[in-house]
Chains A and B, each alone.
Chain A
Amino acid sequence: MSRAAPLPSHDTTTTTSVTPPSREGRIGAAQPSRKDQATTAQPSHEDTTLTTPPSREDQLARYQQMLLIRRFEERAARAYTEAEVGGYCHLNLGEEATVVGLMAALEPTDYLFTNYREHGYALCRGISPGRIMAELYGRRDGVSGGWGGSMHLFDAQSRLLGGYGIVGGQLPLATGAALAVDYRSGSEVVMCLMGEGTTNIGAFHESLNIAALWGLPVVYVVINNGTGMGTTVEQSSAEPEIFRRAASYRMASARVDGTDPVAVEHAAAEAVAVARTGRPYLLEATSERLRGHSVVDPAAYRSPETVAAVRAADPVALLAAALLADGVDEETLAAIDTQVLADVAEAVAFAEASEHPDPSTLFDHTYATPVPNDSRRLPGDALYPAAPRPAGRTPGTTSSGAPATPARPAGLGASTVTQHTGAHA
């Protein structure tokens, strides 16, 4: 396609109702520095009990979404080991409750930036599993047309503004998207996801500082699974309680149990509501990474005790157990699984049937505004076709065989020069 139109700015009037969440801890903007922040209502610890339990219907819907992520990721891992998926492949296994809870708090018009572990977020934004799997397969019908791969899912329509492979790269971008919303007096919120290891990079601090200074509508969400690849949060972060880092920017923040989708949804809804009033927010969700850092990582550095603890925190299993305890029968859960597996199988079939991008499209996306002299040379191409060597040419003569003297005939050579129109003409 040619130059894409800028993403439209939609004005929404939707307000988000906030139910106080349960959570492990929170801090607020302890010392608001600006008058307009002095009225910030910080939730207190008394708010931390749910007033109403989630309905069974809602819980089953959450279970369906979480299981879709689980089965999609398991299938993606298989496709990777079958070499259908290339590059890197990072999975949301173990983070399903966090993903589902966070995405439930966003309006369709809100913007989302993620890191490279983002298949589940794309699913929850309503992008068809087939288009996501097709991107993993590098096919034309992939969300990014086969240009991005697993780490770089993008869908303008659902306002997923990219998975990003460089740790921390998405933070300044999300901050800038929030600047654009603020500039146009929009009511959208930008949510920006990252892992806890990202909070040690300069872009984290620069972005939070700017967002707080300028009052930007952005929610930074840290998925704290306790490890970078193998380095623990205690080894890498001098303040391992990540949500406390917001205090440096007088920014409201909270920590929530990321294995509980209801708690995450409520915490995220509150964060989004704060951001919608023009104040950034830092939300930390604690969860476990069920497997290694990426598909190829066997996580051999984990002790048996850690492996057991990770399994015990499996949010899909926890929710299934809770549903069964609540009286849902096993057949209902099995039927959900059957449907989800069918959806994933259909996604794989879609990806397999989608065509590979044609090499003739290689230069389609270098520039949005066409410019002269844009290189479209393939690796083996000569810049200029080799001219046949003139017969009898000897060093010290020109190609015309004439002596190399200054008495050149005027106009020798192509005169395709562009005349300068500036002061020196």
Chain B
Amino acid sequence: MSMMTYRQAVHDTLQAEMRRDPDVLLLGEEIGVFEGSYKITAGLLAEFGEKRVRDTPIAEEGFTGAAVGAAMLGLRPVVEIMTINFSLLALDQIINHAAKIYGMFGGQTSVPLVIRTPGGGGQQLGATHSQNIELFYAFVPGMKVVAPSTPADAKALLLAAIRDDDPVLFLENLALYNTRGEVPDDDTPAEIGRAAVTREGTDITLIGYSRMATVALAVAEDLARTDGIDVEVVDLRSLRPLDRETIVASVRKTGCAVVVEDDWLTYGIGAEIAATISDGAFDDLDAPVRRVAMAEVPLPYAKPLETAALPSAHDVARAVRETLDAVGWSAPALPTPETRS
């Protein structure tokens, strides 16, 4: 195990995979000389050269599509799209081509492509640079979408994504780049399509992914300390395929669920999770599934407005308490000095 940042984990994994497999190459805007807008690719141009670390023109459709075409011939391109907002310029190549080519031609060629891109608000970047639109890709069969929340998962899921023969959107998050965690030293890929229970509990299930999975975990620890609530936390990790079994198994145990997401509520990822719980744990549910999501506005620039719009730990804790209040939950009695032996 090594302690490192999420940024370092992504960087080191890219570097290791490029050393391991000469078919892995990187394409993106400003990833070479400039070393990436968020410095994920620092030092890689110097090590691997211009052939394998390609600075592209500002042409998301062109270079993303070129990566799809190169993948059809067996290369394993890893594309960096500077932020997920700019992936909208490449939608046709991602959705109409990368996600379709394997099936539309009857399985004759696969597209082993990775698109790395960060989402996330909270940096005062305004409405067009703060979106969480991973749903667009998670909606599409043929795509795989992973959303690691920890440095360890960033490594394991990036290993899996690069070695996978399908197009994988690898969702990063601006607010996670500097977070730290223990990362295993071995090169064991994660299994795409599996969620993880990151904290076991009995009273209520919190479900999130990417940044909100870390918020959920922090809230769970706080509530255990302050309210005596035993929260179970599910980190989705994979948005497509979606691990419904892990979600449903947890809610069958706890009887209550709050879904936390950085995207918008209406039609969002949380809506699919809530529907899944309704289908799979209806008879075990003691309260409606609550969703905590971004306010449905174009995210404003001014700090107080931006802060008000983004889901916070406070919002999550409130949703948990209100859900448990609704089912008449009360905290177990704290041990008194008399009962202590």
User: Which chain B residues border A415 with CB–CB below 8 Å?
Assistant: 249, 253
Q: Is the CB of A399 within 8 A of B284?
A: yes
A248 at the interface (CB under 8 A from B): no
Q: Is the CB of A176 within 8 A of B196?
A: no
Q: Is the CB of B197 within 8 A of A207?
A: no
Q: Is the CB of A423 within 8 A of B152?
A: yes
Q: Select A404's contact among B66, B156, B250, B328, beta carbons within 8 Å.
A: B328
Distance in angstroms between the alpha carbons of A183 and B72 in the assembled complex? 13
Chain A nearest Cβ from B95, distance in angstroms? 10
Chain A nearest Cβ from B273, distance in angstroms? 12
Distance in angstroms between the alpha carbons of A414 and B242 in the assembled complex? 18
User: Which chain B residues border A146 with CB–CB below 8 Å?
Assistant: 106
B153 at the interface (CB under 8 A from A): yes
* A-contacting 9-mer, from B124-132, B275-283, B299-307, B309-317: B275-283
Q: Is the CB of A144 within 8 A of B104?
A: yes
Q: Is the CB of B245 within 8 A of A404?
A: no
**Do A416 and B68 contact each other (CB < 8 Å), given the known contacts A371-B193, A383-B280, A406-B202?**
no
Q: Is the CB of B97 within 8 A of A145?
A: no
Chain A nearest Cβ from B194, distance in angstroms? 5
Distance in angstroms between the alpha carbons of A136 and B194 in the assembled complex? 39
A378 at the interface (CB under 8 A from B): no
Distance in angstroms between the alpha carbons of A172 and B62 in the assembled complex? 5
B158 at the interface (CB under 8 A from A): no
Chain A nearest Cβ from B257, distance in angstroms? 13
User: Which chain A residues border B276 with CB–CB below 8 Å?
Assistant: 383
A392 at the interface (CB under 8 A from B): no
Q: Is the CB of A169 within 8 A of B97?
A: yes
**Do A4 and B194 contact each other (CB < 8 Å), given the known contacts A368-B165, A414-B249?**
no
B35 at the interface (CB under 8 A from A): no
Q: Is the CB of A202 within 8 A of B279?
A: no
A375 at the interface (CB under 8 A from B): yes
Q: Select B107's contact among A1, A181, A202, A373, beta carbons within 8 Å.
A: A1
User: What residue of chain A has the Cβ atom nearest to residue B246's Cβ?
Assistant: A417
Distance in angstroms between the alpha carbons of A183 and B246 in the assembled complex? 42
Interface residues of A in 80-95 (CB under 8 A from B): none
User: Which chain B residues border A168 with CB–CB below 8 Å?
Assistant: 92
Q: Is the CB of A372 within 8 A of B193?
A: yes
A47 at the interface (CB under 8 A from B): no
Beta-carbon contacts of A149-166 to B below 8 Å, as 1s and 0s?
000101110000110101
Interface-central residue, A168, A368, A421, by most chain B CB under 10 Å: A368
**Do A175 and B196 contact each other (CB < 8 Å), given the known contacts A4-B109, A408-B255?**
no
Q: Select B103's contact among A164, A183, A365, A416, beta carbons within 8 Å.
A: A365
User: Which chain A residues border B192 with CB–CB below 8 Å?
Assistant: 371
Q: Is the CB of A399 within 8 A of B283?
A: yes
User: Which chain A residues border B324 with CB–CB below 8 Å?
Assistant: 406
**Do A368 and B56 contact each other (CB < 8 Å), given the known contacts A175-B69, A423-B150, A423-B182?**
no
B93 at the interface (CB under 8 A from A): yes
Q: Select A424's contact among B64, B69, B150, beta carbons within 8 Å.
A: B150
User: Which chain A residues border B104 with CB–CB below 8 Å?
Assistant: 144, 147-148, 152, 154, 162
**Do A369 and B105 contact each other (CB < 8 Å), given the known contacts A9-B74, A406-B329, A425-B198?**
no
Chain A nearest Cβ from B201, distance in angstroms? 11
User: Which chain A residues border B61 with CB–CB below 8 Å?
Assistant: 172, 202-203, 206
Distance in angstroms between the alpha carbons of A154 and B142 in the assembled complex? 18
Beta-carbon contacts of A405-421 to B below 8 Å, as 1s and 0s?
11010111111111111
User: Which chain A residues border B159 with CB–CB below 8 Å?
Assistant: none
Beta-carbon contacts of A101-126 to B below 8 Å, as 1s and 0s?
00000000001010000000000000
**Do A210 and B105 contact each other (CB < 8 Å), given the known contacts A173-B68, A367-B144, A423-B182?**
no
A60 at the interface (CB under 8 A from B): no
Interface residues of B in 244-272 (CB under 8 A from A): 244-246, 248-250, 252-255
Q: Is the CB of A206 within 8 A of B241?
A: no
Distance in angstroms between the alpha carbons of A296 and B189 in the assembled complex? 51
Instruction: Name the interface size band of chain B.
Output: 35 or more
Q: Is the CB of A7 within 8 A of B74?
A: yes
Chain B nearest Cβ from A143, distance in angstroms? 8
Q: Select A145's contact among B107, B112, B254, beta carbons within 8 Å.
A: B107
Distance in angstroms between the alpha carbons of A364 and B107 in the assembled complex? 8
User: Which chain B residues border A148 with CB–CB below 8 Å?
Assistant: 104-106
Chain B nearest Cβ from A404, distance in angstroms? 4
Distance in angstroms between the alpha carbons of A1 and B324 in the assembled complex? 50
Distance in angstroms between the alpha carbons of A368 and B167 in the assembled complex? 10
B174 at the interface (CB under 8 A from A): no
Interface residues of B in 179-221 (CB under 8 A from A): 181-184, 191-200, 202-203, 217
User: Which chain A residues border B12 with CB–CB below 8 Å?
Assistant: none
Distance in angstroms between the alpha carbons of A404 and B325 in the assembled complex? 12
User: Which chain B residues border A169 with CB–CB below 8 Å?
Assistant: 65, 92-93, 96-97
Distance in angstroms between the alpha carbons of A390 and B284 in the assembled complex? 11
User: Which chain A residues border B191 with CB–CB below 8 Å?
Assistant: 371-372
User: Which chain B residues border A34 with CB–CB below 8 Å?
Assistant: none
Interface-central residue, B104, B242, B243, by most chain A CB under 10 Å: B104
Q: Is the CB of A9 within 8 A of B152?
A: no
User: Which chain A residues border B249 with CB–CB below 8 Å?
Assistant: 413-417
Distance in angstroms between the alpha carbons of A41 and B154 in the assembled complex? 50
B137 at the interface (CB under 8 A from A): no
B336 at the interface (CB under 8 A from A): no
B73 at the interface (CB under 8 A from A): yes
Distance in angstroms between the alpha carbons of A248 and B242 in the assembled complex? 46
B38 at the interface (CB under 8 A from A): no
Given contacts A7-B74, A173-B69, A417-B249, 15 further A-B contacts (CB under 8 A): A4-B109, A142-B106, A147-B104, A173-B97, A206-B62, A210-B66, A371-B144, A396-B286, A398-B286, A406-B203, A406-B330, A419-B197, A420-B198, A424-B198, A424-B235
Q: List 29 A-B contacts (CB under 8 A).
A: A3-B110, A5-B74, A6-B110, A113-B69, A145-B105, A162-B101, A166-B92, A172-B69, A177-B73, A203-B65, A206-B63, A209-B62, A368-B102, A369-B164, A383-B244, A384-B248, A387-B283, A399-B284, A404-B327, A410-B202, A411-B253, A414-B249, A415-B253, A416-B249, A419-B196, A421-B156, A422-B181, A423-B151, A423-B183
Top 7 closest pairs, chain A to chain B, by CB: A172-B65, A176-B69, A6-B74, A206-B62, A145-B106, A413-B252, A423-B181
